[in-house]
Structure 1
Amino acid sequence: MTKPNVTPLLHRNDPQRAPLAGNVKVTREDWLNVALDVLISDGVDQVKVLNIAERMSVSRSSFYWYFKSRQDLLDALLAHWEETNTAILIRHTEAPTKTISEAVLYFFRCFIDPGLFNTRLDFAVRDWARRSGKVRRILDRSDAARTAAIEEMFARHGYDREEAHIRARILYYMQIGYNIADLNETLEERTALAAPYVIGFTGQRATEEEIREHTEYSRQLRSKTHTGSKT
């Protein structure tokens, strides 16, 4: 199974980079990237054209080359969230796997690899949904699509529909709540619990090879993170 090809957005307000200055042409992706940063760090109320322009040190006039209005930008943020977080999670439930334990371990990757599922963005959208009925409906639709995909994953591996439905809800909402809890736990510690978690979620025991593959994936993530922190 290969890792989905996800093109990361470029964060033009990255504090590690020199700020934009002078007559710099910013793109639609620049506006969207910084808006995402603001949404995640400060909440939807601060996603304002002037705020974003100031972060990029550019005139806000270029905003209207790419977006009709602030609402247009907010709609784009929600679309981006659905096209990344929701779509990536669903794709991970659809991967060809021989056993349900392999399927669940592959699904776990979404929640341990920040390059796949943006947990902080998911939190930001959930907070936004508390203030907007429209966003609440979109979030409910997304949660339903995610749990339906997980249910189908269990059903493909022989679980009857009622059990597949309940196990899907347990697996999904536990993973969301796990991240919200923000436990003081290293990736290595979380990975070490993968085998008993699989038993709890599926009633099946993962093979040594499946656990070894999952552990190696986690090790590569830790190595990549450690290397990135030095650059």
Structure 2
Amino acid sequence: MATDVLAKEGISGLRVEVLAKRCGVTKGSFYWHFKDRQALLDAVLERWRAGRIRDIEKTTAVQPGHEREQLHYAIEVYGASRNRKGMSIELAIRDWARRDANAAGVVESVDLYRLECTRRLFTASGMSDSEAKSRSLLLYACVFGLSLMHYDGFDNNLLEIKQRIAQRIVET
């Protein structure tokens, strides 16, 4: 419930009174689960962090020798999926992180983990560490950038364009 409110209203929507009412519980019941609003915010951040870590681990898990295929898969998953709710949550968390050091630390840890997982795939596929780092950053800049853009009218064959982009990111 809290992440839905965060996605729609931002951090300002995460108020105890409002959430208790939406959940159909009293404020006292709410405080039974969370010591205070900060505990709620910490729980929201932890749930987001844990979900993103699980997601990237699933997306980058690979059998040795199939690293490039897994990189293509990661680009496809993150680049093809236009999950508006997920992107709304991601944007709300990132907006929160612009104003809150704790949220910024969580976002940075997730971003670094994402980059490290794909860096390992790139190095396992034969790239130098510096090349793997630059490709990891390029991969995420591309997929996050595409997820923020509205480009359906740009070309009639967007799937082919995305495949060519992925090829350029992954191949040596």
Q: Which has the larger radius of gyration?
A: 1
Q: Contact (CA 8 Å) 2:17, 2:27: kept in 1 or not? A: yes
How far does residue 91 in structure 1 lie from its aligned partner after superposition?
2.9
1:79-158 superposed matches below 5 A: 79-96=46-63, 98-107=65-74, 108-113=76-81, 118-158=86-126
Change in CA separation of 1:182 and 1:62 when aligned onto 2, cut-off 3 Å: farther
State the alpha-carbon separation in 2 of the partners of residues 60 and 189 from structure 1.
52
Which ranges of structure 1 fall in alignment gaps of 5 or more residues? 1-33, 205-231
For 1:69, the equivalent position in structure 2 comes to 36
- Higher-RCO chain (CA-CA 8 Å, sequence separation at least 6): 2
Q: Contact (CA 8 Å) 1:90, 1:150: kept in 2 or not? A: no
Paired amino acid for 1:149 = C
Report % sequence identity.
Answer: 26
How far does residue 153 in structure 1 lie from its aligned partner after superposition?
0.7
State the alpha-carbon separation in 1 of the partners of residues 102 and 161 from structure 2.
38
More helix by share: 2
How far does residue 100 in structure 1 lie from its aligned partner after superposition?
4.2
- In the superposition, the TM-score normalised over structure 1's length comes to 0.65
How far does residue 154 in structure 1 lie from its aligned partner after superposition?
0.4
Paired amino acid for 1:62 = S
Q: Contact (CA 8 Å) 1:147, 1:169: kept in 2 or not? A: yes
Aligned match of 2:171 in 184, 190, 203?
Answer: 203
State the alpha-carbon separation in 1 of the partners of residues 51 and 157 from structure 2.
27
Which ranges of structure 2 fall in alignment gaps of 5 or more residues? none
- In the superposition, the TM-score normalised over structure 2's length comes to 0.85
